A and B are shown apart, each in its own frame.
Chain A
Amino acid sequence: MKISKVICGVLASAMVLAFAGCGKSEKTTLVMATNAEFPPYEYRDGDKIVGIDAEIAKAVADDMGLELVIEDMAFDSIIAAVQSGKADIGVAGMTVSEDRLASVNFSDPYTTAAQVVIVKEGSAIASPADLTGKKVGVQLGTTGDIYAGDIEDASVERFNKGFEAVQSLLQDKIDAVIIDREPAKVFISENEGLIILDEEYTIEDYAIAISKDNTELLEKVNASLAKLKESGRLQEIIDKYITAE
């Protein structure tokens, strides 16, 4: 009897605390859902989550006078977290797509990411259009992998790691590699005789996911992003992680 009373008491106070916590989070915190396995946009540095997205979200939260709380979760549950209100915003290098727009709203894009084509110097491939019928190397599961399926008659070779695709290109086992611009820059700087084609394969806009029910927050975030863009702070954050060309 006594024990159950104690348990009741603990539960009751826990509930009070939980409600208090809820009320608090609506007022003073901005909860960001992300998947901290995508450098340089978000990754773990020690026990902290850092990266372009984390800093931009921090800047947006500061501008709105809120404290940023980052929740690290699986990439495919971020949209669900935003939809259900467990998180206020989803910032995870997320490309705006029709599928996703069906579930959530997106802010104005805060940066763009490109998939580029790496070829050997002197290659007959001068633009992405020349990839037809060629052997194209990609890293399994990346955007480049998904989009490479659209190239006519090309055979797509999916490597576990980006550098293995580049190694195969160096040995003429494949004709080109499609990969994110940032790692591509590293690869060509470390290997002689490789170039990145001027024309990107695709360009994607990265934007912040916000619940469809919360248009007020969407407007606020867009306003903050506009301010950050104007003040140059946004570019500063991006340049800090990505060496400018």
Chain B
Amino acid sequence: MTEWFSEFADRFYRNFIKEDRWQYITDGLLVTIQITVFAVILGVVIGFLVAIIRSTHDKTGKLKIANVICRLYLTVIRGTPVVVQLLIIYYGIFASVTIDKMIVAVIAFGINSGAYVAEIVRSGIMSIDKGQFEAGRSLGFNYAQTMIYIIIPQAFKNVLPALGNELIVLLKETSVSGYIAMEDLTKGGDIIRSRTYDAMMPLLAVAAIYLTVVIILEFLVGKLERRLRNSDH
């Protein structure tokens, strides 16, 4: 037992303490969180815009061209892997431009996430009873006002669990940003792995940190859900 412990302590020392290797993990976590936060904001903005255009078209038949563009966006983005999109944006679209890789990652993950958010929000809007819409209109609200003050708030509450899900998926998807030589949490673990040739410990540490962050996110989303449900009574 003591032998096992001293070996464990030795491995722990080599993987995390020696040459301040723990900094790869903490710096990486910071990068992961930065990418996720900004990509979520971009994704939600894109997602709501696309969802409103799509559901307006479904309800009223207007915005035909915008609807076609949105559908094309959804098909292309949902039909290709995010890591391929990231590489295309970095080595293709920004090939001759000097640009901060953080911006590249936020754009790539934001655009990707936006496609999924769009369909989640659209399903929320479509789930609201037609009577709500008619009630809004008969109160004298125009289309946009009905959408903003009556439909979207109710839809948002309905889709919150699905949005929380998308947030968690996005956080974990950022683990491919190492492909453009960004040092996120996963890459931090990989760097340690390449130095110590120890696979288990850095990977377990990385996994545990992702799990912890996800648990915190789940807690926060749950809290928001309960807060929004207060209006039910």
Question: Which residues of A line the B interface, CB within 8 A?
Answer: 74-76, 137, 140-141, 145-146, 157-160, 164-165, 167-168, 171-173
Contacts and interface: CB of A to CB of B under 8 A. Distances in A.
B19 to A, nearest CB: 9
A157 B96 contact: no
Interface size class of B (residues with CB under 8 A): 10 to 19
A158 B179 contact: no
B95 interface: yes
A75 B196 CA distance: 11
B164 interface: no
A167 B178 contact: no
A172 B195 CA distance: 28
Nearest to A77: B197
Interface string B181-222: 101000100110111010000000000000000000000000
Given A164-B179, A171-B95, 15 more contacts: A76-B197, A140-B190, A141-B193, A146-B195, A158-B187, A158-B191, A159-B181, A160-B178, A160-B179, A165-B181, A168-B181, A171-B91, A172-B96, A172-B98, A173-B98
28 contacts: A74-B197, A75-B197, A76-B197, A137-B181, A140-B190, A140-B191, A141-B193, A141-B194, A141-B195, A145-B194, A157-B181, A158-B181, A158-B187, A158-B191, A159-B181, A160-B178, A160-B179, A160-B181, A164-B179, A164-B181, A165-B181, A167-B91, A168-B91, A168-B181, A171-B91, A171-B95, A171-B96, A172-B98
Contacts of A158: 181, 183, 187, 191
Nearest to A74: B197
A160 B179 CA distance: 7
Nearest to B19: A149
B178 to A, nearest CB: 7
Contacts of B190: 140
Interface of A is mostly: mixed
Interface in B40-59: none
A6 B193 CA distance: 48
A205 B191 CA distance: 25
Indicate the member of A137, A158, A167 with the most B CB atoms within 10 Å.
Answer: A158
Nearest to A146: B195
A140 B183 CA distance: 11
Contacts of A173: 98
Interface string B159-188: 000000000000000000011010100010
A174 to B, nearest CB: 8
Nearest to B96: A171
Contacts of B197: 74-76
A140 B194 contact: yes
Contacts of B194: 140-141, 145
Interface string B82-121: 0000000001000110100000000000000000000000
B203 to A, nearest CB: 15
Contacts of A75: 197
Contacts of B91: 167-168, 171
A164 B180 CA distance: 8
B103 to A, nearest CB: 13
Contacts of B193: 141
A165 B180 CA distance: 9
Nearest to A140: B194
Contacts of B191: 140-141, 158
Contacts of A160: 178-179, 181
A95 B178 CA distance: 28
A158 B179 CA distance: 9
B97 to A, nearest CB: 9
A157 B183 CA distance: 8
A51 to B, nearest CB: 20
A53 B61 CA distance: 72
Nearest to B181: A157
B198 to A, nearest CB: 8
List of 3 A-B pairs having minimum Cβ-Cβ separation, nearest first: A141-B194, A76-B197, A157-B181
A159 B187 CA distance: 10
